[in-house]
Amino acid sequence: MVMRPDFAAIERALTQHDFDAFAALSGDDNPIHVDPEFSARTSFGRTVSHGMLLYTVLRGLTEKLVPGARQLTQELMFPAPAFADEPIRFEARVESEHDGVAEISVCATRVVDETCVCEGKCSLAIGERAS
């Protein structure tokens, strides 16, 4: 059996440049993500991250836990906004491994107020199942 870490975390602040680059890559150029003037007039008061941009950071953490694994499923919720230039703590934890599948919980939390901005889980195929 291969011994791997079962937890990984990083703290990172996503910038407006990150939001803009993700919009260009994904095609999701909703003004709530990329237009500070528009966003200032919304209930959020400023631009908010794409949910899937948050998940890309979390998915990167899962790669540290289970290198080379292929994602089978994901379930995500985005209960609160993540704002540009605000530190976020990203965490991933292996909850179980069975039959070549790792079940991993993920969470992104605003550091300033400990508010969850993304939470969920994913299933990753490991070993021969990843092929």
Nearest to 109, CA basis, from 94, 88, 130, 82: 88
Delineate the domains of the chain, giving CATH numbers in brackets: 7-130 (3.10.129.10)
Distance CA 122, CA 89 (A): 18
What pLDDT, on the 0 to 100 scale, is given for residue 2? 59
Task: Show the tokens assigned to 18.
Answer: 């990150």
Please report, in tens digits, the pLDDT of each residue of the chain (131 residues total): 556 789 999 999 999 999 999 999 999 999 999 999 999 999 999 999 999 999 999 999 999 999 999 999 999 999 999 999 999 999 999 999 999 999 999 999 999 999 999 999 999 999 876 67
Task: Show the tokens assigned to 53.
Answer: 């941009």
Nearest to 19, CA basis, from 9, 6, 28: 28
| Global pTM value | 0.92
What pLDDT, on the 0 to 100 scale, is given for residue 3? 65
